[in-house]
Amino acid sequence: PKRDVVPARRHNNRMTKFIKFWLPVIICMGFIFYVSSIPASKIPPLFPFQDIIFHLFVYSILSLFFARALKNTYGGLTPSKIILLTLIFGVFYGMTDEIHQASVPYRNASGFDVLIDGIGSFAGSLIYPVRKKFSCGGRLSNGVNRWLR
């Protein structure tokens, strides 16, 4: 009977890890896809350089989630491997997003946007591995610290 319990726990643990660490990555990717599907004529100009700032911000967040998921599901990866894999992922997703945007009315694919996505991905990939070094006294607030584990 005890042997039957172990595979169930292992499956439950994998599902919990997936939900906790990979679901935020998927949700963020879905958000980017959704926003990329909006025709340019329906996006109001709110402030200067909003497109660049949006790309930097969302790809930083996506990469933070991705680096966090890698660290917590593939424990043997070094910080430099996590940064490299996260950068590759972010640039690749940025390229596929630009290809998708090319099919949206009044939108186009832009190599410059992919570059900005890459910069945002690099920034986001650095946040997770170095977060402890730059937090107040080695600790962030309990809520943020708990969420970033």
How would you write the pLDDT of the chain (149 residues) with one tens digit per residue?
Answer: 555 545 556 667 888 888 999 999 999 999 999 999 999 889 899 999 999 999 999 999 999 999 999 998 988 899 899 999 999 999 999 999 999 999 998 899 999 999 999 999 999 999 877 765 555 554 545 555 555 55
pLDDT recorded at residue 84:
95
- pLDDT value of residue 134: 53
pLDDT at 88: 97
- pTM of the prediction? 0.81
Helices (H), 39-135: 50-73, 79-101, 111-130
Q: Which two tokens stand for residue 90?
A: 């972010």
What pLDDT score does 40 carry? 87
In three-state secondary structure terms, 104 is coil
| CB < 8 Å & 24+ apart, contacts of 28-34 | 28/58, 28/61, 28/62, 28/65, 29/62, 29/93, 31/58, 32/58, 32/59, 32/62, 32/93, 32/97, 33/97, 33/100
